């Protein structure tokens, strides 16, 4: 079976042929399935953003190819344009790209560019606004009158309204407080479930990606250093630290517990930690 | 990509020309331009050319950079050349096509005009290539400071210039980011007629302006917090000081102008 | 006099636009900050923490009550420059507070405004850049630096004015983990080595945990105030106002619901592991 997205030997250089040449992606290959939640981690300059912009055809590979349902996205102009709509991209601080007079119009910008009919646009705007918790009254106000967190939701709704099959988000929760972060993450996961969409989320918050993602991609020095389930990835804690990345705090706690001699395996979510420790306590009580 | 645009074409270096006081360089540039316009003969042009060539050699700036900088001016150069070539009246007709004739005088005149513009632009480039934008604004502010007496806001103008220079790369980067984001939402900047293309810019310009205003607002607050109250009572970390080489350069420049004037007096 | 900042019965509201009502931020806020201390002001979006920070530097003036900075009334226009010399501000977006296009020129901006003699400015700029570890970048263009580096330049620009207190308004919100660490290390060092009073406005629990004192703001009121240990033990309170405790405290709190009896004050992973180990060892 052809995978949903397949990236083959992708290489990209900035300022190629000048003294400032810099390889941002170096022979990157991987594939994604529908409905997966992928977390992408790596420090600034590791090639994450370049990779994201390739997946929806904003950047053209210097070599290698990107296949969407088995078709090269650069096959012809029409396919490339179609890819923009099938792969949604939410940049960092997306609220700074709002421009329309009303929230409604701004969310409708993407669907309009797709050339959809008016009633379909209307359905999508309303559905995606609701999906990020915006009320109908808010659709008629100017996006610039909203609070920072609400603007962020409008911007995300603008991409959701294109109903992308792959939704890529670059730090969607940056600058939000814990309550706001949790809400945004929930909206994203609900969208995935509702549309059986694939999510790719870049985040610096190890706790968040570890909890949400089915698989993690760890980028380091323009290459994929690791790609596996969170459990497997965080088993390489030492390597992650060497790459300048953090490990979830709870994983650190469990590594220390193991060092102290308790029979535990590293965990990365609170639920896992509680389960492991209560089991251990129960075991002790029995003994 | 917009990121590849080179802005502020300063080439850091340690040559004498780099180390000259920006005021010296500005004044000498003015003198150089005067000399260029006073020059009337092959010989005087030659003198000015030698002055420029030696200066470039001392600066160590590769000639390639000058040619690169010249590219956007190609049209003007060509236009000036052709205009002078065809519309100069003269005795010695070289080629005659229908009513248009090319005269020897025309060829010479076209050559001189193009040469003069080339020299003018190259001289200015030499200044901007060897002087950091901030030194340039400092120099301008210092040279223009007598105008404060007639209430010209010299400090404010140079501050504005300085801030503009500081924010150009930031705004270029921002434009790039906004463009990518709107493209990702299916915006199309490349096709359609003129009206459609202008309309397509709205999703870029609106966020860009809003962001620029926000930045201006935050910057103003930050500047106030750092006790900025305009130019009065302000000191400078780097004082502009004239050194031996500055006075030497003035001497050379004075020689240049004198030479050109003397040659002109002799009708050369 | 060892009080750096004193907020007394502060009232403040942003005026409403057109016919919308005023937005009340503070009704009666009281807060004292000791000279030389490191205080984190924590709160969710819209709790008034940034508004409070702007009162420490006379950017905003009280609508009622008083704010004193080193004994000076912030609403006294005569004291404006003196107040701003005493308390420096660092803002969230490093791009929007760097004025010049060379690092050292930017750091010199503050001292230049104060009319300090040129050789002394040079000394201060060099010293400030060394303190934040950016001396080797002094001739660089700011827009080519990383976020963390830019923010350290901004901090250098403030300490070159030799203030007694620095107020940082979410200085790490736009930075990646590496940048955040750089900035936090710089702040901690300035506080420990130079005795500069630090007021850190943040919504990152782990940053607040590094302070000596944490003040939690909620809807313009002090919801909790104490050492990080004391504040982060109040997990229910934090949850009720949309905040979370550090993961370690959250874990212990959750475990206590499952029959454990753990103290909630442990903030470091190693310390938390030790406590768990003590509770679990046979």
Structural domains for chain A? 5-243 (3.40.50.300), 248-287 (no CATH)
Q: B20: phi > 0 → left, psi -120 to 50 → alpha, else beta; which?
A: beta
Closest Cα to residue B101, out of B82, B86, B122?
A: B86
pLDDT at B97 exceeding the cut of 80 = no
pLDDT at B161 exceeding the cut of 90 = no
Mean pLDDT of B120-132: 89
Q: Domains in chain B: how many in total?
A: 1
Closest Cα to residue B222, out of B166, B142, B138?
A: B166
Q: What is the pLDDT of residue A132?
A: 94
The span from the first CA to the last CA of chain C, in angstroms, equals 53
The percentage of chain A sitting over the pLDDT mark of 90, rounded to a whole number, equals 63
pLDDT (tens digit per residue) in A127-165: 999 999 999 999 999 999 898 889 999 999 999 999 999
Q: How confident is the model at residue B190 (pLDDT cuts 50, 70, 90)?
A: confident
Q: Tell me the C-alpha distance between B237 and B52, whole Å.
A: 32
The percentage of chain B sitting over the pLDDT mark of 90, rounded to a whole number, equals 32
Q: Is residue B215 within 8 angstroms of chain C, CB to CB?
A: yes
pLDDT at A40 exceeding the cut of 90 = yes
Q: How confident is the model at residue B12 (pLDDT cuts 50, 70, 90)?
A: confident
The residue extents of the domains of chain C are 3-245
Q: How confident is the model at residue C252 (pLDDT cuts 50, 70, 90)?
A: very high
Closest Cα to residue C251, out of A178, A285, A204, A251?
A: A251
pLDDT (tens digit per residue) in C266-280: 888 899 999 999 888
Q: What is the pLDDT of residue C282?
A: 64
Residues of A whose CB is below 8 A from B180: 53, 58, 91
pLDDT (tens digit per residue) in A43-66: 888 889 899 999 999 999 999 999
Q: If you compute the radius of gyration of chain C from its CA atoms, what whole number of angstroms results?
A: 20
Q: Tell me the C-alpha distance between C50 and C14, whole Å.
A: 13
**Interior CA angle at A50 toward A56 and B211, to 5°?**
90
pLDDT at B2 exceeding the cut of 60 = no
Residues of A whose CB is below 8 A from C282: 284, 287
Q: Tell me the C-alpha distance between A235 and A248, whole Å.
A: 11
DSSP letter (8 states) at residue A76 = S
Q: Tell me the C-alpha distance between A216 and A229, whole Å.
A: 6
Q: Give the burial class of A201: count Cβ atoms within 10 A of its Cβ; 0-12 exposed, 13-18 middle, 19 or more buried.
A: buried
Using CB atoms, pick whichever of A85, A97, A162 lies closest to residue B181. A97
User: Which H or E element spans position A27?
Assistant: strand A22-32
Count of CB atoms situated within 10 Å of the CB of A138: 18
Q: What is the pLDDT of residue A285?
A: 54
Closest Cα to residue A118, out of A136, A105, A134?
A: A105
Mean pLDDT of B123-132: 89
* Residue B133 near residue B8 (C-beta atoms within 8 A): yes
Q: Is residue A135 within 8 angstroms of chain B, CB to CB?
A: no
Q: Tell me the C-alpha distance between A171 and A48, whole Å.
A: 11
Cα of C122 to nearest chain A Cα, Å: 33
Mean pLDDT taken over chain C: 92
Question: Interface partners of A (3+ CB pairs, < 8 Å)?
Answer: B, C
Query: What domain range is B131 assigned to?
Result: 2-265
Question: Interface partners of C (3+ CB pairs, < 8 Å)?
Answer: A, B
> How does strand C165-169 pair with strand C87-90?
parallel
Q: Name the closest residue on chain B to residue C119, using Cα atoms.
A: B237
Which CATH superfamily, name and number, covers C3-245? P-loop containing nucleotide triphosphate hydrolases (3.40.50.300)
Residues of A whose CB is below 8 A from B201: none
Q: Tell me the C-alpha distance between A129 and A138, whole Å.
A: 9
Count of CB atoms situated within 10 Å of the CB of C22: 12
Q: How far is CA A268 from CA A232, A255, A265, in A?
A: 11, 11, 10
pLDDT (tens digit per residue) in C184-213: 999 999 999 999 999 999 988 889 999 999
pLDDT (tens digit per residue) in C7-53: 999 999 998 777 778 888 999 999 999 999 999 999 888 888 999 99
Q: How confident is the model at residue B1 (pLDDT cuts 50, 70, 90)?
A: very low
C112:B236 CB<8 A: yes
Q: What is the pLDDT of residue B5?
A: 41
Q: Tell me the C-alpha distance between A205 and C24, whole Å.
A: 33
Picking from C96, C142, C158 by the largest number of B CB atoms within 10 A of its own CB, the best residue to mutate is C96
Three-class SS state of B95: strand
Mean pLDDT of A186-198: 95
Picking from A60, A97, A116 by the largest number of B CB atoms within 10 A of its own CB, the best residue to mutate is A97
Q: Tell me the C-alpha distance between B219 and B166, whole Å.
A: 12
Length of chain C: 282
Residues 6+ apart with CB under 8 A from A94: A152, A155, A156, A158, A159, A172, B181
pLDDT at B48 exceeding the cut of 60 = yes
Q: How far is CA A208 from CA A7, B248, C173, in A?
A: 25, 66, 17
Count of CB atoms situated within 10 Å of the CB of A232: 12
Q: How many CA atoms lie within 13 A of B18 on its CB side?
A: 13
pLDDT at B150 exceeding the cut of 90 = no
Q: What is the pLDDT of residue A66?
A: 95
Q: Tell me the C-alpha distance between C247 and C262, whole Å.
A: 14
* The token pair that represents A4 in the structure block: 């949903």
Q: How confident is the model at residue B189 (pLDDT cuts 50, 70, 90)?
A: confident
Q: What is the pLDDT of residue C210?
A: 93
Q: What is the pLDDT of residue C8?
A: 94
Count of CB atoms situated within 10 Å of the CB of A212: 21
Q: Is residue B156 within 8 angstroms of chain C, CB to CB?
A: no
Q: How confident is the model at residue B4 (pLDDT cuts 50, 70, 90)?
A: very low
Query: Using N-to-C axis directions, what is the helix angle for C103-113 and C147-159, rounded to 10°?
Result: 30
User: Which H or E element spans position B160?
Assistant: helix B154-184
pLDDT at B52 exceeding the cut of 90 = yes
Q: How confident is the model at residue B3 (pLDDT cuts 50, 70, 90)?
A: very low
The percentage of chain B sitting over the pLDDT mark of 70, rounded to a whole number, equals 96
* Residue A111 near residue A100 (C-beta atoms within 8 A): no
Mean pLDDT taken over chain B: 86
Mean pLDDT of B71-88: 85
Instruction: Please provide residue A40's backbone torsions phi and psi, each rounded to the nearest 5 degrees.
Output: -115, 125
Whose tokens are 């969407």? That residue is A68
B207:A144 CB<8 A: no
Q: Which residues of C touch B (CB under 8 A)?
A: 57, 59, 81, 84-85, 88-89, 91, 93, 95-102, 104-105, 108-118, 121-122, 125, 139, 141-143, 157-158, 161
pLDDT at A287 exceeding the cut of 70 = no
């Amino acid at each position: 079976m052809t995978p949903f997205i397949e990236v083959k030997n992708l290489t990209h250089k900035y300022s190629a042929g000048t003294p400032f040449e810099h390889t941002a992606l170096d022979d990157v290959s991987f594939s994604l399935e529908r409905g997966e939640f992928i977390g992408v981690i790596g420090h600034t300059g590791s090639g994450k953003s370049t990779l994201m912009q390739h997946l929806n055809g904003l950047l053209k590979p210097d070599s290698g190819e990107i296949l969407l349902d088995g078709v090269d996205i650069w096959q012809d102009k029409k396919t490339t344009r179609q890819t923009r709509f099938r792969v949604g991209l939410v940049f960092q601080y997306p609220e700074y790209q709002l421009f329309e007079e009303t929230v409604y119009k701004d969310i409708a910008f993407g669907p309009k560019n797709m050339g959809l009919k008016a009633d379909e646009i209307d359905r999508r705007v309303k559905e995606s606004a609701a999906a990020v918790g915006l009320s109908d009254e808010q659709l008629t106000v100017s996006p610039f009158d909203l609070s920072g967190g609400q603007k962020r939701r409008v911007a995300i709704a603008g991409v959701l309204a294109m109903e992308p099959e792959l939704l890529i988000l670059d730090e969607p929760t940056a600058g939000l407080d814990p309550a706001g972060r949790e809400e945004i993450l929930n909206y994203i996961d609900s969208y995935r479930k509702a549309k059986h969409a694939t999510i790719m989320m870049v985040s610096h918050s190890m706790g968040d990606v570890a909890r949400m993602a089915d698989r993690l991609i760890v980028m380091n020095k323009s290459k994929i250093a690791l790609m596996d389930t969170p459990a497997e990835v965080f088993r390489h804690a030492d390597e992650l630290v060497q790459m300048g990345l953090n490990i979830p705090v709870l994983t650190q706690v469990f590594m220390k517990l193991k060092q102290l001699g308790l029979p535990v395996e590293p965990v990365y979510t609170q639920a896992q930690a509680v389960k492991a420790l209560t089991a251990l306590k129960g075991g002790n009580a029995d003994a | 990509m917009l990121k590849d645009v080179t802005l502020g074409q300063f080439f850091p270096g340690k040559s004498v020309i780099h180390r000259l006081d920006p005021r010296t360089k500005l004044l000498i540039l003015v003198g150089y331009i005067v000399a260029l316009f006073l020059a009337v003969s092959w010989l005087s042009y030659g003198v000015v050319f030698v002055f420029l060539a030696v200066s470039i050699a001392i600066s160590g700036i590769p000639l390639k950079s000058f040619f690169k900088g010249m590219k956007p001016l190609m049209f003007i150069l060509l236009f000036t050349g052709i205009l002078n070539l065809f519309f100069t009246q003269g005795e010695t007709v070289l080629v005659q096509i229908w009513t248009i004739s090319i005269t020897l005088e025309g060829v010479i005149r076209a050559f001189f005009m193009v040469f003069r513009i080339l020299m003018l632009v190259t001289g200015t480039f030499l200044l901007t290539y060897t002087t950091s934008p901030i030194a340039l604004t400092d120099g301008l502010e210092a040279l223009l400071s007598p105008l404060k007496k007639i209430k010209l806001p010299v400090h404010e103008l140079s501050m504005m210039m300085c801030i503009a220079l500081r924010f150009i790369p930031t705004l270029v980067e921002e434009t790039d980011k906004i463009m990518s984001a709107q493209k990702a939402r299916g915006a199309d900047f490349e096709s359609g007629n003129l009206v459609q293309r202008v309309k397509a810019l709205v999703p870029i310009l609106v966020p860009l302006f809003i962001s620029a205003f926000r930045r201006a607002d935050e910057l103003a607050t930050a500047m106030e917090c750092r006790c900025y109250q305009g130019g009065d009572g302000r000191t400078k970390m780097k004082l502009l000081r004239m050194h031996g080489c500055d006075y030497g350069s003035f001497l050379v420049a004075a020689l240049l102008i004198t030479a050109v004037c003397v040659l002109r007096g002799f009708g050369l | 006099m060892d009080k750096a900042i004193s907020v007394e019965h502060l009232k403040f509201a942003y005026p409403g636009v057109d016919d919308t009502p005023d937005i009340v931020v503070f009704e009666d806020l009281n807060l004292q900050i000791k000279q030389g201390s490191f205080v984190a002001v924590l709160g969710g979006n819209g709790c008034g923490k940034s508004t409070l920070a702007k009162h420490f530097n006379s950017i905003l003036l009280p609508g009622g009550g008083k704010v004193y900075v080193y004994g000076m009334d912030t609403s006294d226009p005569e004291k404006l420059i003196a107040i701003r010399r005493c308390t420096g501000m660092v803002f969230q977006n490093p791009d929007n507070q760097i004025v010049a296009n060379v690092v050292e020129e930017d750091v010199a901006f503050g001292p230049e405004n104060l009319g300090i003699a040129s050789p002394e400015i040079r000394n201060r700029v060099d010293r400030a850049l060394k303190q934040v570890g950016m001396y080797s970048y002094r001739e660089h263009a700011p827009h080519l630096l990383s976020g963390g580096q830019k923010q350290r330049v901004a901090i250098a620009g403030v300490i070159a004015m030799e203030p007694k207190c620095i107020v940082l308004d979410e200085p790490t919100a736009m930075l990646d983990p590496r940048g955040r660490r750089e900035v936090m290390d710089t702040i901690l060092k300035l506080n420990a080595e130079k005795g500069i009073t630090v007021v850190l406005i943040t919504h990152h629990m782990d940053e607040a945990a590094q302070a000596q004192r944490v003040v939690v703001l909620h809807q313009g009121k002090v919801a909790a105030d104490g050492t990080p240990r004391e504040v982060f033990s109040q997990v229910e309170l934090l949850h009720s106002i949309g905040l979370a405790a550090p993961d370690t405290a959250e874990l212990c709190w959750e475990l206590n619901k499952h029959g454990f009896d753990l103290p909630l004050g442990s903030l470091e992973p190693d310390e938390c592991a030790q406590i768990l180990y003590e509770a679990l060892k046979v």
